[in-house]
Structure 1
Amino acid sequence: MARDDTPLGSFLRSRREKVDAASAGIVDHTRRRVRGLRREELALLAGISPSYYTRLEQGRDRNPSREILEALARTLGLDDTERAYLWSLAAPSLTPAQPDMATSRTVRSGVEYLLHRWRDLPAFVVSPRRDVLAGTDLAARVNPAWNAGRNLIEFTFLDPRARQVYPDWKDITLQAVAGLRATAAARRPEVDALVADMRAQSGTFRALWDSHDVYDRVMGQKRIAVDGAGVLRLDFETFALAGSEGHVLYVYFGAPTSPDERKLDELARSMQSPDSPR
């Protein structure tokens, strides 16, 4: 059977294969030879024509209606991030115009000033393709990946230090790729070259990218092995900076009164010389 590797078709197929048929209400007394739902089963559950769904997944129809997209999202159990990703693939003409690439790599002077003032927090700004554009001195001290000029994806998959820096490296890789995919559809010109390069250089990245998992973590916690300080368990929050550049500010911190907060404070104090100009 013909297969079309359009982004929309690949995403729909990957989500269909993850749905448990029995949980979806499919009664099948035969030995199933496919993962998840068959095309005709998904079409039936979504209330659309099996032949139309086949054309959609194979890339022979690329203009589904709002009603069809909503029916598919509901049947596949997509969360908000996956639903937004589905829409960005199915209706790319509705995505915002892309900013100039050079502009997207420039951090506003006011943001740079704030980062300079935040001496006791690991904080940094990334572009849609996960380039670190600016950060606090403490960010670079805590994690070499959080240094201006680095790329978070390249560090995670290609830098041998990543497995030492991230005790939970496997989880980090899953989150990194799923988050990048959440960004990719809306800002493809900025992300495509990175994805192609990473697919060529890292089999792990390629396998995760081809799994089509997509979600965006706006907050969470990571364990970071910090040279001279041991493993710190740091929470983080993200803040989308206003503007067309798509910049995101990451801020890491230890839980209040925790040993991690104390160690982070000690690191910050050790970097501050009373004689250094501020």
Structure 2
Amino acid sequence: MARDDHQDDNRLGSFLRSRRERIDASSAGVVSHTRRRVKGLRREELALLAGVSPSYYTRIEQGRDRHPSREILEALAGVLRLDDTERGYLWSLVAPSLAPADGGGPAPADTVRPGVLVLLERWADLPAFVVGPGRDVLAGTALAARVNPAWSAGHNLIECTFLDPRARVVYPDWEDIARQAVAGLRTTVAGRSAELQGFVASMRERSEIFRALWDAHDVYDRAAGPKRLAVEGVGVLCLDYETFALAGPEGHVLYVYFPRPGGEDDTALRLLAASRR
């Protein structure tokens, strides 16, 4: 399959266009007396609402000017109603020096620090695991692998979500999980493109759904929340999770899942942990 990298050659323009197309023109204050044939705002409409000349905005979106000022970016972000994550992503596309290291030096280590491994050993009653920037699972508790086989070392969360049919069974809300996974990866790639662009290109070729979600240019940075998982022999568990960015250049993130105290999910998870000892 031929690979179309054009969008990622101009990530700033592609992202702006994707956000522009999702804005309802009437809610943005644009009055139209004719039937609209395009989704969202036209280029000239966005430019005028942001106080930018239409010709200059066109140069930005077409990739002919990739370094607009912070003031222009903020004006565009306001009209496009970008949230904090989207604003951070937008700025990283223009000023990557302000984002996390882009992998210009040695490749980040895949080795989890000994102290973190000790913590995982002590958290035997919780599903917990460490991932790298590309969502490779580097280490985890035995209970994590029992709750979801994809949470065991040697697996990649993105590959498992899109390429392993079992993921649709494990995740009752698979569509939401898939969308969040890609949007979260795009947020990470903004600061580590040299390190991850090969992985993204591979996933675009291997999964049509991944490619469609990637080309939507959504960004997502959720550090906590609930997730439903269908666990073999147990049923569906609803667990909350927290994420912890581990200090260091490796870009490792620790995920810890836990049930709400005293509920059925709490009891089920305790029994599951005890059965594995």
TM-score interval w.r.t. the shorter chain? over 0.9
Q: Is the Cα–Cα contact under 8 Å of residues 121 and 253 in structure 1 kept in the other structure?
A: yes
Q: In the TM superposition, what is the alpha-carbon distance from 1:102 to its structure 2 partner?
A: 4.6
1:155-170 correspondence runs (5 A): 155-170=160-175
Stretch of structure 1 that moved more, 15-24 or 241-250: 241-250
One-letter identity of the residue aligned with 1:19: I
Which range is displaced more, 184-193 or 95-104?
A: 95-104
Residue 256 of structure 1: how far off its partner (Å): 1.2
Check whether the contact 2:108–2:251 (CA below 8 A) recurs between aligned residues.
no
Provide, for residues 12-49 of structure 1, a one-character-per-residue CA deviation record: whole Å limited to 9, x for no partner.
Answer: 00000000101100011110011000000000110111
**Displacement after TM superposition at 1:63 (Å):** 1.1
Q: Aligned residue for 1:223?
A: 228
Aligned partner of 1:68 in structure 2 is 72
Residue aligning to 1:276: none
Residues 27-74 of structure 1: CA deviation (Å, up to 9, x unaligned): 111100110000000001101111000000000011101100111111
1:87 to 81, 86, 91: 91
SS state at 1:104 partner = coil
| CA distances 1:155-188 after superposition (whole Å, capped 9, x unpaired) | 0000111111111111111111111111111111
The answer to whether the 8 A contact 1:101-1:190 is kept is: no
Are 2:118 and 1:113 aligned?
A: yes
- Residue correspondence of structure 1 range 228-239 to structure 2 within 5 A: 228-239=233-244
Q: Which moved more, 1:85-94 or 1:23-32?
A: 85-94
Structure 1: gaps spanning 5 or more residues? 273-278
Match of 1:214 in 2: 219
Give the drift of 1:252.
Answer: 0.5
SS in 2 for 1:87: helix
How many residue pairs match? The answer is 270
2:74 counterpart letter in structure 1? E
Distance (Å, rounded) in 2 between the aligned partners of 1:104 and 1:69: 35
1:10 aligns with 14
Any residues of structure 2 matched to 1:188-207 within 5 Å, and which?
188-207=193-212
For residue 225 of structure 1, give the secondary structure of its aligned residue in structure 2.
Answer: strand
Distance 2:38 2:109 in 1: 43
Say which of 175, 179, 202 aligns to 1:174: 179
Of residues 266, 269, 273 in structure 2, which corresponds to 1:264?
Answer: 269
Are residues 1:42 and 2:43 paired? no
Report the TM-score when normalising by structure 1: 0.94
Matched position secondary structure for 2:31 = coil
Q: Is the 8 A contact 1:166 1:225 kept in 2?
A: yes
State the identity %. 71
| CA distance 1:96–1:254, change in 2 (3 Å) | closer
Counterpart residue type for residue 215 of structure 1: Y
1:140 and 2:145 correspond:
yes
Shift of 1:104: 3.1
Answer whether contact 1:104 1:246 (CA < 8 A) is retained. no
Aligned-residue RMSD, C-alpha: 1.3
CA distance in 2, matches of 1:96, 1:218: 17
